[in-house]
Amino acid sequence: MHIANIDRRILLVIAGFGLLLTLLTLRLFYLQIVQHQHLSQLALRQQERTIEVQPARGRIFDRQGRPLALNRQSASFYAVPREIQAPDVTARKLAARLGVPARRLARRFKSRKAFVWVKRKVSDKAAQAVRDLKLPGVHELKETTRVYPEGKLACHLLGFVGLDNQGLAGIELQLDRAIRGQSGWIRITRDAQGRKIPASTRVHKRSHPGQDVYLTIDKMIQHIAEKELARCLADTGAQAGSVVVMDPRTGEILALANQPDFDPNHFNRYPPAARRNRAVTDIYEPGSTFKIVVAAAALEEGVFQETDIIDCEQGRGVFDGLVVRDHHPRGRLSIKDIVVYSSNVGAVKIGIRLGAEKLARYAKAFGFGRPTGIELPGEAGGILKPYHQWHRWTATSVPFGQGVAVTTLQMTAAYAAIANQGQLIKPWVVKEMRRPDDIRTKVGKPVYRERVISSRTAARMRKILEAAVNEGTGQKAVLQHYRVAGKTGTAQKPLTSRRGYDPVYHVASFIGFLPADDPEYLIAVVIDGPHGVQWGGVVAGPVFRKITRQLVAYRGLPPGPQKIYAFAREKKNNRYDPRQILSEVPNVIGLSFNQARKKLSASGLQAQRLGQGGQVLGQRPLGGRRTSPGSPVTVYVADPEHAGLTDQTSSQVVVPDLEGQSLRDALQIIQAYGLRAEITGSGLVKRQDPRPRTRVKIGELCAIHGEDPEHTP
C-alpha cells in the first residue's frame, strides 16, 4: 500500500512536468512564431535609434561666384531619458553650459520619450564643454548650420533659414525645395545598458545635398548700394529706404538693398520690420517719378509734342474742385519742361487731354497694378484700380503720382522700359542653379514682355529725362563726364488712421540711368520719411550720384559720349535684344596671362595687361558683363605670393601699393586682393589707408583718395 502511494505521487509529478513542458512549448511557439514579428519590432525599437540626417543646403553665390551663403558642421546634443540616472543633476550641469533652463531640461529627461533634444547647433566652445562632462544618456550628433559669411550683405534678398534648415524668407524660401535637398536617416544599435555598440551605425537612407544658386547680383555693387543707403538714412534721419540697381537691357538685378537691415546669421534678434524686403513688398505713392507715364503716353498717342506749350497757371490749378499746386510756381511750359521742372498742374492738363481711359491703359502697360514676377516671395502688386472704378478725382491725381501705389521694383521696371527702347522687361535675380555634380538645372535669361511705347518715343523720353537732370530738379544726380537721365519724386504719405496725407513726412525718390543715350545701369533710390529737407532731388539724387560714381569706376564704364548700338530687330515681334550684338566677357581670374588672352580672343575680345606676375587676380570688365566685339579687357596680373594669397585658407592679405595708379586701376587691384574700397577724389591715387604692405583681414575697407577730392562730382 505504501509503495502504491509513492508510485502515484511519482506519476503525478511526471504528469505535472509534462503539463509544464507542454505549456512552455506552447508559450515558446506563441512567442517565437505567432508574436515573432511584433516582438522583433519591439526589440528593434528598444535597441535601435533612427535619427534624421539633414542634407547640406545648396550654397548661394553672386554673379562672380563669390559665396553669400554656405554651410558648416555644428554639434547638436540629444538625450535618451531612460539612460539618464539623475535627471535633475544632469539638467543643471547642461543648463550651466548651454544656456537652456534647467527645469525645461529636467522635464524632458523625466519623460517617457525615447528621444529628446537637449540643444541643437551649439557653439564649438559649448560643445566641448558638454563633451567634457561625459554625461550618461547625453549623445552628440553632427548637423549642418547655415552661415552667411558677408553678414548683413544682401540680407533681404538672401533671406534666412530656421533650425531645421527650412527656408523662411528671401531666396532661401523661394527656392527652398531645390536648395534644401533630401533628408536621410541613420540607425544606431545599443546594448541593454543603452551603450552604443561599436561599428553599429549604418545608413538607412542617404541624404542628398541641395542645388547651388548663382544670383545676378554683384557683391561689390551690393556693398556700394547698402553703404550709401545706410549713410543717407544716418544723415537724414529717415525711417527706411530702398535701392535697386538693374541692367535695363537684360532685367538682371545687380543690387537690391533695404534699410533697416539685419544679420541673417542671427535673424531672430531683429524685429520683423527690419527683415522686410521693402523694395519688393512695400507700396507707396510715387509722386512725380510717375510723370513718365502720362508724358510717354501723350507723346506716343500724338496728343502733344515736346515743344507744345501748356499754361501751368503759376503753380495753382483747380480741376473739378480739386486744388493742385506746384512747389515752384511757373507759367507757360513746354511738355518737356513740365517733366524737367516737375509741374503737377502741367501733368494734370496733359492727363486731361490724354483721357482717363488711355492713362489707365498705359499705366497698366508700364507694369503697375501687378507683380513684376521676380523670383522673390511676398511681392506686392501695388494699387492701380481698373478704369471703371476710378473716382472722379483719380484721373486728376494719377498724372502726378497720387491715387496709385507702387513698389520700388515696379518703378525700376517701368523706367527700364524707357531705357530699353520702350519694351517692358521682367526683373530677375537667379542667374543659374547647379546640382552637386555641376549639372545646370536652370539658366536665367531675359524675359521681354509687351512693348509699352515705340523706340522713337522711348528715345524722346530719354532726352527729356536727361534734361531733367541737367536743367531741372535732378541736378544733384549729375555725374561729371557721364550722361545721366532721371526723374525726382517727392510724394506725400497717406495717413493710416484716417483719410488724408501726413503733413510732416514724405517719400523722396530719384530714378535714373546712365549713359542716357545707351543705358547700361538703372538705379532707383527711395527714401521714406527723411527729416528736414524732404525733396527727392535733394535727398535721393545725391545717393544716386554717389552710387554711380563708384559703380562706373568698379565696372570700368568709360566716360564721355557713348556709342549708340544699332539694336538688332526681330521682325516678327518687333522686339529689340541688345545681346544679339554684344559679346559676353568670360571670367579669366585665376588663369595665367597667356591662358586669359586666348580665352578672351576666343570671345572676340582683346586682353590688355596690367601689372607683373604669373596669375590673373582681377579683370575689367568683370566676367559675365556684355560689351561690344573687339573691346579691350584689362587683366590685372600679379604673383599670388606677392598678394599674400598663397594660403587659400588664410583670412589676411597684404595691402598693395596703389600710389600713382588711376582710381579705376586701383579699384580693380583692391578687388583682386579681396578687399573693399571707398573712393574719394579723382585722377590718380595720392594716398591710401591702410598703408601699403599692411596685413589686413580679407574684406577690410580701404580708403583710396584721389588728387582732387574737393571737386569730386
Tell me the catalytic residues: 288
Reduced to 3 states (helix: H, G, I; strand: E, B; else coil), residue 582 is coil
Q: What's the CA dihedral at 244, 248, 250, 252 to 10 degrees?
A: -10
Please provide the DSSP assignment of 78-130 as one string. EE-GGG-S-HHHHHHHHHHHH---HHHHHHHHTSS-S-EEEEEEE-HHHHHHH
Pairing of strands 701-706, 685-689: antiparallel
Pairing of strands 676-680, 701-706: parallel
**Cβ atoms of residues 561 and 483 within 8 Å:** yes
Distances (CA, A) of 675 to 260, 309, 672: 25, 54, 7
**Cβ atoms of residues 254 and 521 within 8 Å:** yes
Ramachandran area for residue 590 (φ above 0: left; ψ -120 to 50: alpha; else beta): left
User: Is 684 exposed, middle or buried (CB count within 10 Å of its CB: 0-12, 13-18, 19+)?
Assistant: middle
Cα separation, 662 vs 668, in Å, equals 10
Please provide the DSSP assignment of 153-205 as one string. TTHHHH--B-TTS-B-SHHHHHTHHHHH-B-EEEEEEB-TTSPBPTT--EEEE
The sign of the CA dihedral 640, 646, 650, 655 is: negative
CB crowding 26-47: b at 16 or more within 10 Å, else e: eeeeeeeeeeeeeeeeeeeeeb
> Which 8-state DSSP code applies to residue 271?
-
The helix (run of H) or strand (run of E) holding residue 284 is none
**Cβ atoms of residues 485 and 469 within 8 Å:** yes
Cα separation, 171 vs 213, in Å, equals 9
Q: Give the residue among 328, 224, 297, 264 at the shortest CA–CA distance from 550.
A: 224
Cα separation, 297 vs 294, in Å, equals 5
**Cβ atoms of residues 170 and 67 within 8 Å:** no
> Which 8-state DSSP code applies to residue 139?
E
**Cβ atoms of residues 426 and 313 within 8 Å:** no
Cα separation, 278 vs 702, in Å, equals 30
607 residue type, one letter = A
Reduced to 3 states (helix: H, G, I; strand: E, B; else coil), residue 374 is coil
Cα separation, 531 vs 330, in Å, equals 27
Cα separation, 662 vs 346, in Å, equals 46
Residue 536, all three cell numbers: 527727392
Reduced to 3 states (helix: H, G, I; strand: E, B; else coil), residue 60 is strand
Q: What's the CA dihedral at 417, 418, 419, 423 to 10 degrees?
A: 40
